[in-house]
Chain A
Amino acid sequence: GAVVSQHPSRVICKSGTSVKIECRSLDFQATTMFWYRQFPKKSLMLMATSNEGSKATYEQGVEKDKFLINHASLTLSTLTVTSAHPEDSSFYICSARESGAEQFFGPGTRLTVL
């Protein structure tokens, strides 16, 4: 149990385009989902926390207009990187939590912006 999927696993896009990443909890209802980014050999950086049906809470320094988060249902959250630039290239990871304290991570999405 506690399986979280992400799609796509890898995406390459041109600068200025927008990219949508999906995060799904496959066998449980996720009351809360989290979005992280991670640069090579660096720690996880929490970008935002999203609760189903409400606006996401963004961490300090994360532009909410740049990184659009939608948590439309208890099993799906999406992150859209708008007008992507090369500095947005990173490993984006979502995690989901049901009612307990444990987070379960998706496999991650590697974004490369040319």
Chain B
Amino acid sequence: QKEVEQNSGPLSVPEGAIASLNCTYSDRVSQSFFWYRQYSGKSPELIMSIYSNGDKEDGRFTAQLNKASQYVSLLIRDSQPSDSATYLCAVNTNAGKSTFGDGTTLTVKP
């Protein structure tokens, strides 16, 4: 079992819809959770961090964390074609090391 698992996709949604990206992790002591966006040929860009159970909203993005289920998700409201990218879930342990998922490719169709 991978430490951080994501559906590889591709996930395709129409413009204006909600895109839902999911991530599960295996290390129960994980403390910090991050979502990065990576455009093709570019490096990852941090878009959300979440540390406690519940929802965290930032503009069109909402991160959701459920430590009991070892599950973290990212919702993108009013999806735009410019949101088309690969989204990476990253999980930090107490030791501070980040483990990345393989990423989910999102395509938003105009």
Interface of A with B (CB < 8 Å)? 32, 34, 42-44, 46, 49, 93, 97, 101-108
Contact = CB atoms under 8 A, between A and B. Distances in A.
B92 A101 contact: yes
Contacts of A43: 88, 100-103
Given A43-B102, A101-B31, A49 B46 contact: no
B32 A101 contact: yes
Nearest to B34: A102
B89 to A, nearest CB: 11
B92 A44 contact: no
Contact of A32 (B44, B88, B90, B96): B96
Given A43-B101, A43-B102, A43-B103, A101 B96 contact: yes
Interface in B80-99: 88, 90, 92, 96-98
6 contacts: A101-B32, A101-B34, A101-B51, A102-B34, A103-B46, A107-B42
A44 B100 contact: yes
Interface string B25-51: 000000110101000001111100101
Nearest to A93: B43
Contacts of B51: 101
Contact of A101 (B36, B42, B43, B49): B49
A106 B42 CA distance: 9
Contacts of A101: 31-32, 34, 49, 51, 92, 96
Contact of B88 (A44, A97, A107, A108): A44
A86 B69 CA distance: 43
A101 B84 CA distance: 26
A85 to B, nearest CB: 23
